Structure 1
Amino acid sequence: MDSLRLFVGQVYAGALQRDAVGIRFSYADGYQGAPVFLNWPVASEGLSWETLPPELSGLLPEGMQLEQWRAAPVTDSSEWGLLAAVGADLPGLISVLPSGSESLPFGRTAEGLKSLNRARIQPELDALPYCESELAEFNSAAGFPHSLASSGASASAVYSRKQSAFKLVKLNGSYRLTPESPDTVGQVENQLLTTQLAQDAGLAVASVGRLRTTDGRAVLWAERFDRTGASNSQRLRVESACQLLGKARIAKYEGSLEAIAELIRQYCTNPKIQLMRFFHRVLFGWLSGNGGLHLKKWALLQNGNLIELSPAYGMMNHAITRKDASESALSLAGRRAGWDRDSLLEYLGKEVCGLNLRMIDRVLHQVEAVPWEPRILGSGLSKASQQAYFELLSERWRRLQD
């Protein structure tokens, strides 16, 4: 029988066991700490599944990033084996370590609150001290856990203020670095612009920025929001809607905005405030063409005793990069497109989120006050992409006002 140890912060919570029948988790005798996941209540009877549960498999990335992990020099490339190999630095508060090992998780549980009202977008930093081939070679050597879901190739890094430069690391990095590929030219500028617009609209966002390799390849950096303190000594709980709904990563598009609202009501400390933030983010995402807000892009973050929506991340206008981009990754009233004023303000705002007219008007005023034109013109996007961005905004505003 295979066995893995699960930790909540620095505290051992219980054992995950695998045999020919399936997988079982049992909390340790006398354990009185926080649950491993919000939907795993602390109980004596244990939990069981036929395969690795989505709460754990959801800690692993997808696509190219997952292939990097599978290519790493580990003896078992299954999801179980990958968890055992890199589980010391998984997203959020949870660590998964092999049984029989004396190793302990990085960091410690955060005791205070980390302010997340409006994350500061830092200025462009110095060049990454690696060329593109060196970055690719480092990437191919091992997998890199990080807190921001991604299907693209990326690496983990720390930033040295003394040297004003990033350094690639295998574990416990503070930043995720994603190089632009030949197929994604302009996406770094797209994400920077859309994230800045989101911040202008009053949304809490993950800090992002741009730098370049020594041979000129654009790289997007994103700061982890599930780590804080010196040397990432404090870890914060973060769980995606995929995990909370018990859905596999491949089912990240099989959900609704109504389901997200119910999760907020069920788990958040101040659900009314968080539902307003949720409505705000959906409205901005729709206006800015961000049709990629699937279940893994919605997450809850715990700061001390406060559970709230995590900062927004992966903000990008998909509508100007893909002709077949959908209006929304998740459904609203059974539809993923054709939304209008009634869909967003009356149904989502009033019925689903329970907001009053004053709260909805406040969100609208914040979005209307965004300096859309100067931001887009100064973004570095191509003229064609700028024009497409303006045309999309015009069309979406018209539908919202009709």
Structure 2
Amino acid sequence: MNTMRFGVNYTPTRGWFHHWLDFDLDEVRADLDSIAALGLDHIRVFPLWPVFQPNRTLIRPRAVEQLVQVVDAAAERGLDTAVDGLQGHLSSFDFIPSWTTTWHRRNLFTDPDVIDGEVHYLRTLAAALAGRPGFLGVTIGNEINQFSSGPHPDPDRITPAQAESWLRKVLAACEEGAPGKFHLHASYDAAWYQDDHPFTPGHSALLGSATAVHSWVFNGTAQRHGRTGTATEQHAAYLIELSKAWATDPHRPVWLQEVGAPAPHIPAGHAAEFTEATIAAALDCPDVWGITWWCSHDVDRALADFPELEYSLGLLTTDRTVKPAGAAVARAVEQWRGREHRPAPRTTALVVDAGDRVSAPARSVCAPGGAFFEAWMRLAATGARPTAVLAELAGDAGHLAARGITEVLTVDQVEHP
């Protein structure tokens, strides 16, 4: 039975992710109690890389032990745990070890010593967790692709081939540490939308146990289409279906690993409605592994220098009170509890032509304002349930049949209003 997974990205109420510096298991347990009360079945947690591996050859045993305690505490409350490895980037802040920066500046993706350190670290985390109840697997890092290109102010520039080589090495390290677990990598939407970005759609759709998508409508979608526009409410569903164009497995699982209601693009009074619409649209997509909301708890306003929208993304407040969006997620969980998730195939496919399949040099057609994006949303606004197919596969009868596609449309065939 294909049961939908519902979870949340865990943001501790006391000290945010800096809580690893002053770890308090009782506080963590209280946070997890409030998450479990929503009916959720998993969390995604974020060990800070410099805290856990402050030197290339030093992985702090106490920090790893504390991570194991979090995973165990979650399991005691019926919550499975996915662990992110290389943190990496979180809520506008970078957390990179000192052995990769300034006087020790080395490329995160190509330097042999750095890669050795990353592989050892990821293997160590995975091995420490491999036998723990509820441990799902390791995600390489939170949107670590943002370090590889602009608009990052100091990128470690690489080619798509170098990105793939790095991904294969670090994913293999996770598999060595915890064989058979749910190991994957996660990119922010530049992988799908930015023409010259070295992490490509193919990397996301082909490497790892599942395809992870992160849906944020502050990327121009809400600005262009408004808070209740089809494109805004179906952006997450769009990314899920777009990812399938590059997948060779017609039923590859897709994890909506991050999605949230960012103010002011989604005003606080509209957050619950947006949440309900986003979840409903995502649940209408076949082969979705799960939905993991960003994030569990608000960021404490005593902490400085976050972008304004980051403070209010939680399903719960910092005193663990359920917010309207949290209540909306809880209703969805209750509605789907025990039900099989098997939506009908999406039989209409829109052709996406991003150029070469491997490098996708024209993938900006998929971005908000791009020809493919806007045509897909026009179709969706009519009540259609479109998916996506690569131009080179649009005439492949076997590929279309495997995906249940019976109608193929080009962008030019989708009428403008």
Give the TM-score band, short-chain normalised: 0.3 to 0.5
TM-score normalised by the chain length of structure 2: 0.32
Larger % of strand: which? Answer: 1
TM-score normalised by the chain length of structure 1: 0.33
